[in-house]
Amino acid sequence: MTQNLTLESIGRLAGVSRSTVSRVINDQASVSPDVRDRVKEVIRLTGYAPNLAARSLVSGRTGVIGLVIPSRVHSLFEDPYFARLIQGISAASNPSGNTLSLFLFQNEEEESRLYPRVVTPGFLDGLVITATRMGDPLLARISNGEIPVVVVGRPDADGVSYVDVDNRGGAALAANHLCSLGYQRIGMIGAPTGTTAGADRLTGFVEGLAECDRVLQRNLREDGDFSESSGYEAMKKLIAREPDAVFVASDTMALGALRALKEQNIRVPEDIAIIGFDGLAPDRSSPILTTIRQPVMQTGSRAVELLNDLISGALAAPISEIMPVELVVGDTCGANLPEPRRKGSANEP
Amino acid sequence: MTQNLTLESIGRLAGVSRSTVSRVINDQASVSPDVRDRVKEVIRLTGYAPNLAARSLVSGRTGVIGLVIPSRVHSLFEDPYFARLIQGISAASNPSGNTLSLFLFQNEEEESRLYPRVVTPGFLDGLVITATRMGDPLLARISNGEIPVVVVGRPDADGVSYVDVDNRGGAALAANHLCSLGYQRIGMIGAPTGTTAGADRLTGFVEGLAECDRVLQRNLREDGDFSESSGYEAMKKLIAREPDAVFVASDTMALGALRALKEQNIRVPEDIAIIGFDGLAPDRSSPILTTIRQPVMQTGSRAVELLNDLISGALAAPISEIMPVELVVGDTCGANLPEPRRKGSANEP
DNA sequence: CTGAAAGCGCTAACAC
DNA sequence: GTGTTAGCGCTTTCAG
């Protein structure tokens, strides 16, 4: 079948030199229409495709961008967040002619062993790194610019380009929503504060409460690890402390929280209001979860776009961008209940 | 920093020729120990890494394997199944020195546009394709062996290598489990029969029921599309027809089914038994789901191993392998309830 | 055991 | 407009 096809052999078949074939392939101007057509026909007939290795050897570009998912978030990989993110990254890679390589490190050992390969110039054109953790050792090694990198999420290092979502603003939105509905004993199930997303959502929520002259009571906060079961466990602990509303820092954890409540026959939103974060579980809960939606796919796509700009030199690092979030009102906060929510009941010193 | 490092420059630094450096790098015997040490030291100091493009230009190998996820299953990408599969594939790729490229096609158009690139020799060493659908156009174009391919799942084409799980056997196990517990009105929420997995699970379940002299009543079967909400909807329809046990062909759909039941205050397993398939939601439901566990990660890893054998020529296509599944008894079938389940009640013409 | 030389398939000056 | 010619960095004979 298709084999041994080279510029040279195509040229021979079309009766031209290899340079001309190269010009046709790269859509360069200086080729007469008839020659161009003839060459294209031969290419079509033979099914010739240029050898990428040879091409990248001379051009210095590989056409490959890498997506690195560090080992510590590995266990979270099953959160639909990553599926969406990958979809967004893939969607933006294909049109730009890039191939996406996935680096899913199993553990620290593998990470440090394979890491050199990932940042070595000539292997990848650029890198997207998901960095949900603070003090990422990978980031430290990148700053000195071996290869263009864009981080998804806020890195806690300077000089690194990134795309983040407005975690603080979104969490504040959640706080305001709960306040405006009259809830009094407002709690939170947080994400790990060792991740910038977790830290930012906590900060934002506290700030949002402050805008309504409220504070987040110490005993009304539990943290999870982004998993469904951690949300379930956290909510079981909170129930005894009787919050009337809880902000859960991820939808997956919120599903766990709802499960815990249903198990105890606590009604949502009548007995307790729940608001999530992510916007990833639109129809997976009964009642439908009120949440803060972040544009996950777009975040991934935007990261690739910025990376392409970095690679082409159109932009110089570091650059950053914050994606907007929005409140999506569902049924778990009682916003749509006919009568206004409790206002000013529930007192506690 | 690190730049322009080539075999030549390393050789100069170490006072040897580029051939010798190449031999050291490729661990070839004929190099004297002292020279080898000297060269290695220079490599360490400079941080030199071979240019992969040049290497693959001469070797004909790229060290890259592709994972293709066709557009029709794209919407299902968020099922944790794919996350696990990717983990397995990635886990097996790294040690074998391969890089994993992900081809997540958004739609048919993109699929056929990018497809040539994917099967063109010289771009990828091999391909893993998830083929949950029948009549896959990609598979048709592959059979004539342009590039080594291993399919995950049973392809409905001949001559294609694949790794599948024992869907039929597993579904039969589920049927036997329900029969042995004495259930009478046994229903099923199936996966799309346009996927080989869906078809095989249906076949196996019917066969399993037959072993207990039962048939799957027409009106006790509804099909979903692997999504949580489709499981929810299917169960809502089934409820009125009063099955006392339901086999749900995927855990994700089973979670939806459980949600529908909880919403109607139907108790599991007291009022109805539920058994899933996949083993992906170990602690995500209350009560804990009884299910048929398939080794998803291992399936992915095995696919890569077979692919490597195909690439190296150690094995010749087509080859195939069926991974075993197992029954995991949870709390949704009442297997652990103190008293034996109802035996022989519920009559209907 | 080591070096010299050829060549993988392509792009990009540089001629004509 | 088109062909000729150098390499890109590497592996691999082939000499020595």
Are A160 and A301 found together in one domain?
A: yes
How much is the pLDDT for B15? 92
How much is the pLDDT for B3? 58
Are B285 and B187 found together in one domain?
A: yes
Q: In chain A, how many domains are there?
A: 3
How far apart (Å, rounded) are the C-alpha atoms in residues A142 and A139?
5
Distance in angstroms, CA of B37 to C1' of D5?
Answer: 39
Does B174 fall in a domain? yes
Of A78, A114, A283, the CB nearest to B80: A78
How much is the pLDDT for B266? 96
Does A344 fall in a domain? no
DSSP code at position A192: P
How far apart (Å, rounded) are the C-alpha atoms in residues B123 and A51?
7
How far apart (Å, rounded) are the C-alpha atoms in residues A89 and B112?
19
Query: Do you find a cis peptide bond into A295, omega within 30 degrees of 0?
Result: no
Interchain proximity A53–B62, CB inside 8 Å: yes
Note the pLDDT tens digit of each residue in A192-205: 999 999 999 999 99
Interchain proximity A1–B146, CB inside 8 Å: yes
Are B42 and B155 found together in one domain?
A: no
Are B189 and B240 found together in one domain?
A: yes
Higher pLDDT: B95 or A289? It is: A289
Q: Which of B11, B32, B59 is the last residue of a domain?
A: B59
Query: Do you find a cis peptide bond into B340, omega within 30 degrees of 0?
Result: no
Are A174 and A269 found together in one domain?
A: yes
Higher pLDDT: A77 or A124? It is: A124
Residues with CB under 7 A from strand D: A 11, 15-20, 23, 30-32, 35-36, 54, 57-58; B 4, 6-8, 18-19, 22-23, 25-26, 50-51, 54-55, 57-59
Are A177 and A280 found together in one domain?
A: yes
Does B55 fall in a domain? yes
Kind of pairing between the strands at B320-323 and B99-104: unpaired
Are A284 and A183 found together in one domain?
A: yes
Does A339 fall in a domain? no
Structure-token match 């659908």, residue found: B133
How far apart (Å, rounded) are the C-alpha atoms in residues A153 and A114?
22
Is residue B265 helix, strand or coil? Answer: coil
Interchain proximity B102–A120, CB inside 8 Å: no
The encoded tokens of residue B333 equal 């079938």
How much is the pLDDT for B167? 98
The encoded tokens of residue B197 equal 């997995």
Kind and range of the H or E run holding B163: strand B161-165
Average pLDDT, chain B: 90
- For residue B51, what is the domain's CATH number? 1.10.260.40
Does B251 fall in a domain? yes
How much is the pLDDT for B305? 96
Q: pLDDT tier at A2 (50, 70, 90 boundaries)?
A: very low
Note the pLDDT tens digit of each residue in B114-144: 877 787 767 899 999 997 678 777 777 776 6
Is residue A131 helix, strand or coil? Answer: coil
- pLDDT surpassing 90 at residue B336: no
Of A49, A101, A121, the CB nearest to B116: A49
B51 touches strand C (CB under 7 A): no
In chain B, which residue's Cα lies nearest the Cα of A117? B49
- Name the pTM for this structure: 0.91
How much is the pLDDT for A1? 42
Higher pLDDT: B157 or A344? It is: B157
Are B145 and B32 found together in one domain?
A: no
The encoded tokens of residue A225 equal 């690890």
Note the pLDDT tens digit of each residue in A158-172: 889 999 999 999 999
The percentage of residues in chain B with a pLDDT greater than 70, rounded to a whole number, is 94
Range of the domain at A218: 167-294
How much is the pLDDT for B344? 43
Kind and range of the H or E run holding A330: none
Q: In angstroms, what separates the C-alpha of A74 from chain B's closest C-alpha?
A: 9
Of B1, B74, B146, the CB nearest to A2: B146
Kind and range of the H or E run holding A307: helix A296-312
Q: B133, B138, B126, B129: which is closest to B156 by C-alpha?
A: B133
Q: Which of A59, A75, A99 is the last residue of a domain?
A: A59
In chain B, which residue's Cα lies nearest the Cα of A52? B123
How much is the pLDDT for A144? 63
How far apart (Å, rounded) are the C-alpha atoms in residues A153 and A162?
7
Is residue A295 helix, strand or coil? Answer: coil
Task: Give yes or no for a contact between B266 and B281, defined as CB atoms under 8 angstroms apart.
Answer: no
- For residue A284, what is the domain's CATH number? 3.40.50.2300
Does A132 fall in a domain? yes
Residue type, B345: S
Does B346 fall in a domain? no
Average pLDDT, chain A: 90
How much is the pLDDT for B340? 52
Note the pLDDT tens digit of each residue in B35-91: 999 999 999 999 888 998 999 999 888 999 999 998 776 677 888 999 999 999 999
Average pLDDT over residues A155-160: 88
The encoded tokens of residue B293 equal 């566990």
Are A104 and A190 found together in one domain?
A: no
Residue type, B186: I
How far apart (Å, rounded) are the C-alpha atoms in residues B209 and B268?
21
- Protein contacts on strand D: list nucleotides below 7 Å from a Cβ: 1-5, 7-13
Average pLDDT over residues A282-290: 91
Q: Which of B15, B41, B59 is the last residue of a domain?
A: B59
Interchain proximity B83–A64, CB inside 8 Å: no
Are B15 and B42 found together in one domain?
A: yes
Distance in angstroms, CA of B142 to C1' of C6?
Answer: 36
How much is the pLDDT for A243? 97
> Nearest nucleotide (C1') to the CA of residue A23?
C11
Q: Give the neighbor-by-neighbor strand order of the sheet with B245-248.
A: B221-223, B186-190, B245-248, B273-278, B290-293, B326-328
- pLDDT surpassing 50 at residue A135: yes
Q: A258, A279, A332: which is closest to B259 by C-alpha?
A: A258
B26 touches strand C (CB under 7 A): no
How much is the pLDDT for A143? 62
Q: Can you spell out the DSSP letters for B6-34?
A: -HHHHHHHHTS-HHHHHHHHTT-S-S-HH
The alpha carbon of residue A297 and the mean position of all alpha carbons in its chain are separated, in whole angstroms, by 7
How far apart (Å, rounded) are the C-alpha atoms in residues B93 and B102?
12
How far apart (Å, rounded) are the C-alpha atoms in residues B166 and B189?
18
Distance in angstroms, CA of B5 to C1' of D10?
Answer: 12
How much is the pLDDT for B251? 97
- pLDDT surpassing 60 at residue B348: no
How much is the pLDDT for B200? 97
The percentage of residues in chain A with a pLDDT greater than 70, rounded to a whole number, is 94
Note the pLDDT tens digit of each residue in B298-317: 999 999 999 999 998 899 87
Q: How far apart are the first and last CA of chain B?
A: 82
Q: pLDDT tier at B93 (50, 70, 90 boundaries)?
A: very high
Residue type, A193: T
Average pLDDT over residues B227-252: 97
Are A214 and A184 found together in one domain?
A: yes
Are A55 and A14 found together in one domain?
A: yes
Does A136 fall in a domain? yes
